[in-house]
C-alpha cells in the first residue's frame, strides 16, 4: 500500500491525496504512485474519493432524495433503512458489500415480509447512488434474484376483509349505535359509510372538508390525505399517496344522508371546515388513530368479527371484483397506479365468491359439455334406500 500527495484539485483549490493498494513490491508501488500523479496532473485521474460506509452513504443520499418523493414514501423508506438495512449493513464499506452478502439477506427478508422486495429496492437505489458518486464501479444489488411465491408475514391482519353478510351486520351495528348513542355515533356512521362506499384510505377520509362533498352532484373529491405522526413529527396534510390518488367519486343517497345528518349535528364553528371533527379545540380534526379505536369498540360492543379500517378498503375491492367490475375500474376507484397491484394485494377470495365461481362454471358445463354427453341427470337428492 502507498499513500501520497497528488496535487491541488483545480475545482476546489484543496490538496488531494490518494491511497493505492495491491502492489507486490516497492518498485511497483512507486511506479503506481508516479502514474497516479501524472494522471491527476494531466486531468486523466481524479483523486480517489473516500469510501463511505452504507450508513454514511445513506446519510448523504436521503436528505437529497426525500424531496423528490411524497412524505408517505419518505417515511416508508426511512423505516426500511432504520429497521432493516442499516442494522444489517450499516457498518459495511460500500465497496465491500457483495452479492454473496446481499442474496441470503434478501431471501430471509422475502420469507419474512411481504414488503421484502420493496426493502431490497431501497438498498439497490442507495447503491446506484454510490455508483454515481464513484464509490463503487458495479452495483452488487443488480445481480440479486428476488425469490417468488414464498410464504411471508404480512403487516396486515389475516382475513382482513368482510363478506357481504358481515358488512351488512357491521352497517346494522352503526345504525343501532347512531340511534342509541346520539351525536358521536352519528359522526362514526357517516365516517364509515364514506369508507365503505368509496374505499378511500383512512387518511383521505379524515382529510375531507365540506368543500369536498357535493350534495347536488352526489360526489366526494379526494385531493389530500392526513399523514400520521412519525418520529415526533406531528400529523400533517399532504398529497394523496399515488399519482392517481386525486379522484372524484360518486356516492349514493345513503352516504349523503348520513353526512347531512352529521352536518346538521356538527357545531357550526367547526375549524377549517373539516367534515370529521374532534371536540377538543386544540385538535379540531379527528386524529389518524381514532377511527381504528372506533372499529375495535364497535366490533366488541356488537359481537362482530374484527377487521381493521383498512380492511374495509380491501372489502370494497373484493366485493367489486365478485360483482364482475373490471380490475382497472377497481384500481381507479381506490387510487392505485396500476390494476396489477390491486389484483395482487386487494382482491381476496371469499366463500361467496368461490361458490359463485363454481356455480357459474357448473352452469357453463351443463349448457355445453354435459348437454352433449347424452347423460340424463339424476336427482342427486333422491334417496337410494337401504
Q: Dump pLDDT digits (tens) for 41-55.
A: 766 555 455 789 999
Residue 349 reports pLDDT greater than 60: no
* pLDDT at 153 (0 to 100): 47
* pLDDT at 127 (0 to 100): 95
Which letter does DSSP use for residue 233 in this model?
Answer: B
Across residues 270-293, what is the average pLDDT? 82
More confident residue, 280 or 45: 280
**Rounded Cα distance, 96 and 53, in Å:** 9
Residue 10 reports pLDDT greater than 80: no
Answer yes or no: are the C-beta atoms of 161 and 318 closer than 8 Å.
yes
Residue 234 reports pLDDT greater than 80: no
How many Cβ atoms are within 10 Å of 271's Cβ, its own excluded?
Answer: 12
Burial per residue of 177-192, b for 16 or more beta-carbon CB atoms within 10 angstroms, e otherwise: bbeeeeeebbbbbbbb
**Percentages of the chain per state (helix, strand, coil), in multiples of 5:** 55, 10, 35
DSSP bridge pairs for 274: 209
Q: pLDDT band for 264, please (50, 70, 90 cuts).
A: very high
- For 43-52, 163-172, 377-386, which range has the lowest pLDDT when averaged over its residues? 377-386
* pLDDT at 281 (0 to 100): 56
Can you tell me whether residue 58 is helix, strand or coil? helix
* pLDDT at 104 (0 to 100): 95
Q: pLDDT band for 366, please (50, 70, 90 cuts).
A: low
More confident residue, 115 or 373: 115
Q: Among the residues of 95-231, which ranges form H helices?
A: 99-112, 116-132, 164-181, 183-198, 202-206
More confident residue, 269 or 232: 232
Q: pLDDT band for 348, please (50, 70, 90 cuts).
A: low
Grid cell 423508506 — which residue?
Answer: 77
Residue 330 reports pLDDT greater than 80: no
* pLDDT at 37 (0 to 100): 78
Across residues 20-43, what is the average pLDDT? 77
Answer yes or no: are the C-beta atoms of 95 and 133 closer than 8 Å.
no
* pLDDT at 386 (0 to 100): 46
Residue 26 reports pLDDT greater than 90: no
Amino acid at each position: 500500500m502507498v499513500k501520497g500527495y497528488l496535487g491541488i484539485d483545480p475545482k476546489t483549490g484543496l490538496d488531494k491525496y490518494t491511497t493505492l493498494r495491491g502492489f507486490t513490491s516497492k518498485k511497483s508501488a512507486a511506479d503506481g504512485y508516479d502514474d497516479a500523479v501524472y494522471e491527476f496532473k494531466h486531468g486523466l485521474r481524479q483523486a480517489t474519493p473516500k469510501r463511505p460506509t452504507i450508513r454514511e452513504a445513506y446519510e448523504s443520499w436521503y436528505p437529497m432524495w426525500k424531496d423528490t418523493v411524497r412524505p408517505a414514501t419518505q417515511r416508508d423508506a426511512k423505516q426500511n433503512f432504520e429497521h432493516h438495512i442499516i442494522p444489517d449493513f450499516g457498518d459495511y464499506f460500500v465497496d465491500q458489500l457483495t452479492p454473496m452478502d446481499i442474496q441470503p439477506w434478501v431471501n430471509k427478508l422475502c420469507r419474512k415480509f411481504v414488503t421484502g422486495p420493496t426493502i431490497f429496492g431501497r438498498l439497490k437505489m442507495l447503491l446506484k447512488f454510490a455508483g454515481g458518486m464513484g464509490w463503487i464501479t458495479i452495483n452488487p444489488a443488480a445481480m440479486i434474484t428476488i425469490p417468488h411465491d414464498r410464504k411471508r408475514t404480512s403487516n396486515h391482519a389475516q382475513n382482513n376483509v368482510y363478506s357481504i353478510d358481515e358488512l351488512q351486520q357491521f352497517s346494522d351495528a352503526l345504525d343501532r349505535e347512531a340511534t342509541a348513542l346520539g351525536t358521536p355515533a352519528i359522526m362514526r356512521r357517516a365516517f364509515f359509510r364514506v369508507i365503505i362506499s368509496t374505499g378511500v384510505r383512512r387518511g383521505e377520509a379524515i382529510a375531507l372538508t365540506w368543500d369536498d362533498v357535493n350534495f347536488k352532484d352526489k360526489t366526494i373529491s379526494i385531493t389530500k390525505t392526513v399523514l400520521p405522526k412519525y418520529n415526533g413529527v406531528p400529523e400533517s396534510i399532504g398529497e394523496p399517496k399515488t399519482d392517481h390518488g386525486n379522484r372524484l367519486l360518486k356516492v349514493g343517497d345513503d352516504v349523503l344522508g348520513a353526512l347531512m345528518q352529521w352536518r346538521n349535528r356538527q357545531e357550526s364553528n367547526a375549524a377549517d371546515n373539516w367534515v370529521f371533527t374532534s371536540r377538543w379545540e386544540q385538535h379540531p380534526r379527528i386524529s389518524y388513530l381514532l377511527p381504528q379505536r372506533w372499529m375495535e369498540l364497535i366490533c366488541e360492543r356488537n359481537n362482530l368479527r374484527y377487521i381493521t379500517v383498512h380492511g374495509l378498503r380491501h372489502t370494497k375491492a373484493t366485493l367489486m371484483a365478485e360483482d364482475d367490475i373490471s380490475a382497472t375500474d377497481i384500481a381507479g376507484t381506490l387510487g392505485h397506479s396500476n390494476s396489477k397491484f390491486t389484483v395482487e394485494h386487494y382482491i381476496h377470495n371469499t366463500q361467496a365468491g368461490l361458490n359463485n365461481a363454481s356455480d357459474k362454471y357448473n352452469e357453463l358445463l351443463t349448457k355445453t359439455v354435459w348437454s352433449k354427453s347424452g347423460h340424463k341427470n339424476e336427482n342427486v337428492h333422491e334417496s337410494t334406500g337401504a
